[in-house]
């Protein structure tokens, strides 16, 4: 998926867990987030709730 999106001109960031994802989101406002529901530390649905609580990510 990463190669496909890159080859079509999209910038792709990859995080190994939710904590790494949150680090990326400090500097980046994504157009789209793909995630697993089951991840280390925090599950994917909790990440969605966290994103909605951050003002600049509320529409992601």
Mention every residue, 6+ apart, whose C-beta is less than 8 A from residue 51.
25, 33, 57, 58, 60
Give the pLDDT confidence score for residue 51 in this predicted structure: 82
Asked if residue 40 has pLDDT above 80, the reply is: no
- Percent of the chain with pLDDT strictly greater than 90: 27
Domain that holds residue 10: 2-57
Please give the residue that has the higher pLDDT: either 20 or 59: 20
| Owner of token pair 């990463």 | 2
Task: Give the number of domains in the chain.
Answer: 1
Asked if residue 57 has pLDDT above 90, the reply is: no
Predicted model pTM: 0.70
Asked if residue 60 has pLDDT above 70, the reply is: no
């Amino acid at each position: 998926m990463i190669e496909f999106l890159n080859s079509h001109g999209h910038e792709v960031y990859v995080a190994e867990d939710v904590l790494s994802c949150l680090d990326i989101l400090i500097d980046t406002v994504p157009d789209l987030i793909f995630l697993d529901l089951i991840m280390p530390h925090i599950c994917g649905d909790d990440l969605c709730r966290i994103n909605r609580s951050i003002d600049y990510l509320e529409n992601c």
